[in-house]
């Protein structure tokens, strides 16, 4: 916690994520799908600063257009702060300033990162002394990706994606991210997947009740080998995302023609994540895609989960 012009402020940071593997199973009784995913936290981060206040409010800055984001009680960061206040019996509020760098509705868990960083910042600001397990439990009630934004690194997610177990990952992987000018609704992409499966019920195997992450993914991560990981990348949501936004297919093709080992839709899209061999290849691909007027950033992974920052 620091003090600026006499006002206390707590700065927390949490990462966006890439699903390097995502298999979608059958619909559960609670309406969610059973998932098996391998997450990697990457160096595109959300910055949250929490200030003492009597009520709950949020404002945004950053490198992306935030004009369409909710600032009322439906905002996930506000929900996170309110949930912690209820849990701790805290009667005050908080003002949140969020610097957004992770694409909005881009399949990289930016809102979840906001929530994770907010929980950590408010816990410190309010001195609630919640344990990590308590914060993770609150996060899981807010969204399936929030617990991973808290833990970071590389992990396997099952259930709704919120039941995490760490995965060994060696070294750093280099990513080039093509950011779309539009967002995609995660529920809409899942609905399109369900419709696709219904349409082709006679031709494809039924959805697995308990999907698992392929061993090839775990071996590639453990070896720290981008070529192995490129061969193992998989996302069941890619086909429905491409059906809803066909132009993303051209983006994937362009990246792979310009040196990417592989391209994959991140989560429910529309961000396209390109895995490259090394930092030089990442720079070359960034230049090539930028020349095609795509908005592109480089990132590395894995990185730490939510943590406090001393300004």
Predicted confidence at residue 5, as pLDDT, reads 45
Indicate if 17 belongs to the active site. Answer: yes
How much is the pTM? Answer: 0.91
3-state secondary structure the chain: CEEECCEEEEEEEEEEEEEEEEEEEEECCCCCEEEEEEEEEEEEEEEEEEEEECCEEEEEEECCCCCCCCCCCCCHHHHHHHHHHHHHCCCCEEEEEEEECCCCCCCCCHHHHHHHHHHHHHHHHHCCCCCHHHHHHHHHHHCCCHHHHHHECEEEEEECCCEEEECCCCCCEEEEEEECCCCCCHHHHHHHHHHHHHHCCCCCCCCCCCCCCCHHHHHHHHHCCHHHHHHHCEECCHHHHHHHCCHHHHHHHHHHHCCCCEEEECCCCCCEEEEECCHHHHHHHHHHHHHCCCEEEEEEECCECCEEECC
**pLDDT at res. 202:** 62
* Catalytic residue status for 87: no
Closest CA to 179 of 92, 100, 240: 100
Q: 82 φ, ψ to 5°?
A: -65, -40
Catalytic choice (79, 100, 114, 145) = 145
* The pLDDT value given to residue 172: 96
pLDDT by 10-residue block (mean), the chain, 311 residues: 67 97 88 90 97 96 84 95 96 96 90 97 95 94 92 93 89 95 91 86 66 95 97 96 95 97 95 97 97 95 96 75
């Amino acid at each position: 916690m620091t003090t600026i012009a006499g006002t206390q402020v707590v700065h927390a940071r949490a990462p966006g994520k890439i699903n390097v593997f995502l298999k979608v199973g059958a619909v559960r009784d609670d309406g969610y799908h059973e998932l098996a995913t391998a997450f990697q936290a990457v160096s595109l981060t959300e910055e949250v600063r929490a200030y003492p206040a009597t009520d709950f409010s949020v404002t945004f800055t950053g490198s992306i257009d935030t004009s369409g984001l909710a600032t009322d009680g439906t905002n996930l960061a506000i929900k996170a702060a309110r949930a912690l206040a209820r849990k701790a019996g805290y009667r005050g509020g908080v003002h949140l300033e969020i610097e957004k760098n992770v694409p909005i509705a881009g399949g990289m868990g930016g809102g979840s990162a906001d929530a994770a960083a907010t929980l950590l910042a408010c816990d410190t600001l309010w001195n609630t002394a919640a344990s990590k397990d308590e914060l993770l439990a609150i996060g899981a009630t807010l969204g399936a990706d929030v617990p991973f934004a808290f833990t970071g690194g590389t992990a396997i997610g099952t259930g709704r994606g919120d039941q995490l177990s760490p995965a060994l990952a060696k070294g750093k992987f280099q990513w080039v991210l093509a950011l779309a000018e539009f967002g995609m609704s995660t529920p809409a992409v899942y609905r399109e997947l369900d419709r696709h499966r219904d349409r082709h019920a006679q031709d494809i195997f039924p959805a697995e009740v308990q999907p698992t992450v392929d061993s090839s993914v775990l071996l590639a991560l453990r070896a720290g080998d981008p070529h192995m990981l490129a061969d193992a990348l998989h996302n069941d949501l890619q086909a429905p995302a491409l059906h809803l936004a066909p132009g993303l297919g051209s983006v994937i093709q362009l990246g792979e023609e310009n040196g990417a080992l592989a391209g994959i839709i991140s989560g429910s899209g529309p961000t396209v994540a390109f895995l490259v061999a090394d930092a030089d290849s990442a720079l070359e691909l960034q230049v090539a895609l930028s020349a095609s007027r795509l908005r592109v950033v480089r990132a590395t992974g894995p990185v730490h989960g939510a943590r406090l920052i001393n300004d």
